[in-house]
Amino acid sequence: MGSQEMIVRKKTRVIQVGAVAIGGERPISVQSMTNTDTRDVEQTVAQIKRLEAAGCDIVRVAVLDGDAAEAIRKIQERISIPLIGDIHFDYRLAIAAMENGADGIRINPGNLGGEDKIARVVAAAKLHKVPIRVGVNSGSIEKDLLKKYGYPTPENTQALIESALRNVRLLEKQGFEEIKISIKSSDVLTTISGYQRLAENTDYPLHLGVTEAGGLIAGTVKSSVALGILLSQGIGDTLRISLTRDPVDEVRVGFELLRSLKIRERGPELISCPTCGRTRIDLFSLAEAVERYIQTMESPLKVAVMGCVVNGPGEAKQADIGVAGGNGVGIIFKKGVIWKKVTEEELLEVFMGELKKMEEEGRNARKSAENPAR
Ligand code: SF4
C-alpha cells in the first residue's frame, strides 16, 4: 500500500471474496471480467492467466447457462484468483455457480422472481460462504422507481439508490449481509453523485465502475474522472474499469489510477517523454516494448524511456533506470547518471537484461524483508 494520508477512506464493512477481503482498510482491489465464452474453459483460463499476470485481484465471468456454471469448477482448478459468477434472473444458475465453487456472485435479488427463490439463493450463499454483489445499472432500474423518481441524472440519482437499497433489503430480510453494492451509469457525473449519495446511506463495501465507458481513450478518461474523484473522497472499496478492449487493459488502467492517487502501487511506473524535434529514434515502439515488459514486473521501480541522449537522463533524474535513444547510439542511465552506452540495436536487449536483474534483486530484498535471517 502507498501512503493514504491525503485520503480519508470511508469506513465500510469487510466481506470476503475467496482469499481477497473487500472493504474496511483492505487494499482497494482491481477486478476485471472475461470476454470469452465461459463454457470454453481453455480460452477462459488463458485469459484469466493473462489477467493474473497483470495483477488482477478478482475476475468475473458471465454465467449464461448450466454448462457455463459447470465450467466454473474446471476454471477454478487452474487459476489462483477468486472468481465471481455474473448471473441475471435465473436463481438456479446462481445456485449452480456457487455449487461449482464460485467465490462470489453478482445478481439482483429483485430479478429472481419471488421471495422463495431469493431464499434459496441466500441459503446456498450462506452454505458456501459466498458474498453477493447487488449491481444496479441505470438501464435496468425497476419501472415503478423510474416512474416515481425519473431516470437518474447527476441532480437526481434517487432511482438508482432506491433500486440498490431495495435489492439489499431483500437479502437482509433473509438474514444475509455479505453484500457489496454497485450502481453503474454510463454518465460520469451521475456515477459520481450516485456513489456519493449511496456512501452516505450504507456501510456495505462499494464496487466502483462506469458502465459502457467506451474504448481505450474514452473509457480510461471517463473511468478515471469518475473513480478518481470518488476514490479521492475515500469512496470505493473495489473497482472495475470497463473498456471495449482486451480486459488486461482494464487492469492496467485500474492500477495506474490507484497509483496516481498514491493508494496502491504494483510494479514499475513508466515515465516517458512526449518526444520533440530532438528525437532521432522510434521512441513510440521502444516505449511500447518497455511498457509491455514491465507489466510482468512487481518491483515498484521508476522506469524512464526518453527521446534524446542530451536531455533525457536529466529530465528523468527521478527514474531508477532509464533509456535514451540518440542517433545510432543509446544510453542507459540510473538516477540521471549514464550507466552504459550501447548501439541502438543492442539497446533494448541490454536494457531488458538490466531490468530483469533489478527485478530479481527487488524480489530477493522483499523476500529477506519478509523472512529476516535469524
Ligand atoms: S527528452 Fe529529449 S526528446 Fe524527449 S522531450 Fe526532452 S528534449 Fe525532447
| Residue 354's CATH number | 3.30.413.10
CA-nearest of 239, 88, 73, 107 to 176 is 107
**Has residue 9 been placed in a domain?**
no
* pLDDT of 281 over the 80 cut: yes
- Cα 3 to chain centroid distance, Å, stands at 19
239 with 275, same domain: the answer is no
Nearest atom in ligand 1 to 310's CA: 2
Between 108 and 232, residue with greater pLDDT: 232
Looking at residue 16, what is its pLDDT? Answer: 97
* 345 CB-near residues (< 8 Å, 6+ apart): none
Average pLDDT over residues 154-182: 96
Write the pLDDT tens digit of every residue in 337-369: 999 999 988 998 999 999 999 999 988 888 887
Separation between Cα atoms, residue 76 and residue 101, nearest integer Å? 7
Residue 1: pLDDT band by 50, 70, 90 thresholds? very low
pLDDT more than 90, % of the chain: 76
73 with 54, same domain: the answer is yes
Looking at residue 372, what is its pLDDT? Answer: 66
DSSP string, 169-191: HHHHTTT---EEEEEE-SSHHHH
* pLDDT of 229 over the 60 cut: yes
249 with 299, same domain: the answer is no
Average pLDDT over residues 215-224: 95
Classify strands 29-33 and 238-240 as parallel, antiparallel or unpaired. Answer: parallel
Between 108 and 129, residue with greater pLDDT: 129
Q: Which of 60-64, 81-85, 356-360 has the lowest mean pLDDT?
A: 356-360
155 with 292, same domain: the answer is no
**Has residue 245 been placed in a domain?**
yes
For the Cβ of 107 lying below 6 angstroms from any atom of ligand 1, the answer is no
* pLDDT of 3 over the 50 cut: no
Separation between Cα atoms, residue 224 and residue 229, nearest integer Å? 8
Q: Which of 4-8, 77-81, 175-179 has the lowest mean pLDDT?
A: 4-8
217 with 97, same domain: the answer is yes
Q: Which of 238, 260, 282 is the last residue of a domain?
A: 260
Q: Which of 242, 260, 278 is the last residue of a domain?
A: 260
Cα-to-centroid distance, 286 and ligand 1 (Å): 14
DSSP label at 293?
A: H
Place of cell 475515500: 234
**Has residue 179 been placed in a domain?**
yes
For the Cβ of 315 lying below 6 angstroms from any atom of ligand 1, the answer is yes
Q: Phi and psi dihedrals of 280, rounded to 5?
A: -120, 10
Separation between Cα atoms, residue 131 and residue 60, nearest integer Å? 13
Q: Phi and psi dihedrals of 330, rounded to 5?
A: -135, 150
Looking at residue 134, what is its pLDDT? Answer: 95
Between 3 and 183, residue with greater pLDDT: 183
299 with 276, same domain: the answer is yes
Cα-to-centroid distance, 287 and ligand 1 (Å): 13
188 with 250, same domain: the answer is yes
Helix, strand, coil percent values for the chain (each to nearest 5):
45, 20, 40
* Count of structural domains within the chain: 2
Looking at residue 310, what is its pLDDT? Answer: 87
* pLDDT of 374 over the 60 cut: no
118 with 227, same domain: the answer is yes
For the Cβ of 205 lying below 6 angstroms from any atom of ligand 1, the answer is no
For the Cβ of 272 lying below 6 angstroms from any atom of ligand 1, the answer is no
* pLDDT of 371 over the 80 cut: no
**Has residue 5 been placed in a domain?**
no
93 with 118, same domain: the answer is yes
Separation between Cα atoms, residue 160 and residue 201, nearest integer Å? 12
- Provide the domain limits for residue 338: 269-370
273 with 134, same domain: the answer is no
136 with 285, same domain: the answer is no
197 with 300, same domain: the answer is no
Separation between Cα atoms, residue 368 and residue 374, nearest integer Å? 11
- CATH number assigned to the domain comprising residue 68: 3.20.20.20
**Has residue 168 been placed in a domain?**
yes
Cα-to-centroid distance, 314 and ligand 1 (Å): 10
Separation between Cα atoms, residue 299 and residue 369, nearest integer Å? 14
Over the chain, what is the mean pLDDT?
Answer: 93
Q: Could you give the C-alpha distances from 138 to 106, 231, 244, 359, in angstroms and in order?
A: 16, 21, 19, 44
